[in-house]
Amino acid sequence: HINLGMNHYHMTRYYNRRLFESVASGRLHITYYIPGMEIHFKNKKHLVWFKTVEQGIKLVKYYLNNPEEREQIAKQGRDFFIKNHSWPVRTQQFVNKIKKML
């Protein structure tokens, strides 16, 4: 399975919730590139991004025909999400920031 992400906002590091939900689902997420994405994700390791529609079509076809590589990226993406972006992790980050302020 492949989840396809298209976002009409091209603001630096503007990710919608669907991107995180998709990566967390354990399915390959192929998405339109958002400026700054490389700060938080590694292309072709946690998800796959494209910069043109033509490139996106080629990538979808490629990963549909390469299930082992597709599943490997999907698993790495899910593992990365759980380690860095899940609610328990985010909650702890929030608590740590509050403690620093006190």
Residues 44-98 pLDDT 10s = 999 999 999 999 999 999 999 999 999 999 999 999 999 988 889 889 999 999 9
β pairing state of 48-50 and 2-5: unpaired
Q: How many CA atoms lie within 13 A of 17 on its CB side?
A: 1
pLDDT at residue 10 tops 80: no
The domain ranges of the chain are 2-101
* Domain covering 2-101, topology: Rossmann fold (3.40.50)
pTM value is 0.81
